[in-house]
Structure 1
């Protein structure tokens, strides 16, 4: 079966590799245009584009999938299906109609739960014990198309969004190939998503990641892990932003936001019991252990984080 893969960030690479190694004929790759990166803000190709070029696969980088030139190029490749992982642009119906079997998306949740841009982050933040990945045919409505396959994955107590997404990307890559296999053989039928159980997972912005220390410790723990590595949970110290990495629970009680600094630890009070800070990153500084940061900042008793 002729396939054109669509994806952009690093999380799409396991699926690209799996499709390239499969029995299907990878005849092209669609990705976002080169974007500025690094201190020099030089234009850099996406991870998917870089790997596709290494594989010797033609790469299309439309400014928008509605561009007639792109759609003509896509049609010329005569794809039977277009597997998609985190492409990052809305597909118009005219583009969706090009492959005869449609655009087959790998989404990192068990649909209809967590439709949207940040399903893994929202699953961790909500305290889900199990999540997964789903393959479905893309339609105009957000992540609402009929599904083909699903895999499940346990959310571990220490999982960050990066940890969990990494496992889902690997497992989901195999699910995507199995879906393509089933579509080619005709043995796989799409199933409409149930109307019950729909939840939304919009993109989490930097302003959403600020920690409210009056919240319970369990909620703060989930928030920090959900926002690691992106966009990064944070609080403030002396008016400067302090980026936070995963914390640990304790039995100690402190006023919300109040710090207790020991030789090898820094505790912060919450709405329930205090949490122990792991690593932090102060403005203009390197990421470091919280105790090392506290020593360098010469913190005094009763200092608070947050407003």
Structure 2
């Protein structure tokens, strides 16, 4: 079949690569405009645009589907449109332009987690499984019939970045099978069944860790916001980035129970136990394995705490006046 592909981030690249290597013909790739990146704000093409150029495929760059872009898509005379995280809504007449319409690879088990951040929201909610689906695109958000599904159990250790990379690869295989099925006329659509939940795009505040919550809830939020938009804790008027977090080993957990007299380690209070930096939550302590203080390079939690003048006074639960060391006093 003649395919038109729409996608932008790195999660869409495996699908484009697989379709370009298949028996089908990718006649054009639609992707987002170049955007300023980095401190110098250099205009940078999307990962999909870069892959399309490597493959020698025609590229259409746009911020949204304008009338002009819609006409260009219609002129392609495509059999099928394929969407993987394009970043803009497709509406009529674009939806009806390809002979078989459009299919969308989505990284959740629809109807759970419809929206822009399904992988992140699944981890933040502590879901026991997730996966990917390919569905027929319709005007309503992520509501079309399912054409293929894969499920992936979760063990509580995955971060959003690693899981999305994994699903991007396995989802590309699923997408290829669905496209083959549509070409052969064997694909069988199935209506979505179950409770609808929404997965809106994450913002910086979604990465704020609430240490008054249970340890499991804190870890789940950290997992869902790592690496983007990034998990963090309040440190005075700034933020302490939490790059790696995990449950405290049993021995450290027991030691933390006596960290403040006869009381367990209070939420937000830190305590150095050997080479481990523990922080209290609403239930059990957690280990701050790797952090990044404001204006500093990433470092172990233990090294960061040793550079504080009085680590036992640090309370990472709300903005407070916390005195930190100078660059000369801090560990490298």
TM norm structure 1:
0.96
Q: Does 1:134 align with 2:133?
A: yes
Aligned residues: 305
Q: Does 1:297 align with 2:308?
A: yes
Residue 239 (structure 1) aligned to one of 237, 240, 248? 237
Q: Which residue of 2 aligns with 1:77?
A: 76
Counterpart CA distance in 2 for 1:255 and 1:149 is 47
Q: Which residue of 1 aligns with 2:41?
A: 41
| 1:103 shift after superposition | 1.3
Counterpart CA distance in 2 for 1:244 and 1:63 is 33
Q: Does 1:279 align with 2:277?
A: no
**Contact in 1 for aligned 2:115/2:142 (Cα 8 Å):** yes
**Contact in 2 for aligned 1:260/1:302 (Cα 8 Å):** no
| 1:300 shift after superposition | 2.8
1:257-286 deviation line (CA, Å, top 9, x unaligned): 001024411111000011011111111111
Counterpart CA distance in 1 for 2:36 and 2:237 is 30
Counterpart CA distance in 2 for 1:117 and 1:63 is 16
Runs of 4+ in structure 1 deviating by more than 6 angstroms, as ranges, are: none
Counterpart CA distance in 1 for 2:243 and 2:38 is 23
Alignment of 1:150-165 (within 5 A): 150-165=149-164
**Contact in 2 for aligned 1:79/1:100 (Cα 8 Å):** yes
**Contact in 1 for aligned 2:271/2:311 (Cα 8 Å):** no
RMSD of aligned residue pairs (Cα, Å): 1.2
Counterpart CA distance in 2 for 1:87 and 1:77 is 18
Alignment of 1:1-307 (within 5 A): 1-65=1-65, 67-194=66-193, 196-250=194-248, 251=253, 252=256, 253-307=264-318
| 1:52 shift after superposition | 0.3
Counterpart CA distance in 2 for 1:63 and 1:269 is 45
**Contact in 1 for aligned 2:289/2:300 (Cα 8 Å):** yes
**Structure 1 unaligned residues grouped into runs of 5+:** none
**Structure 2 unaligned residues grouped into runs of 5+:** 257-263, 319-332
1:15-61 deviation line (CA, Å, top 9, x unaligned): 11111111111111000011111222121111100110111000001
| 1:248 shift after superposition | 1.7
**Contact in 1 for aligned 2:31/2:62 (Cα 8 Å):** yes
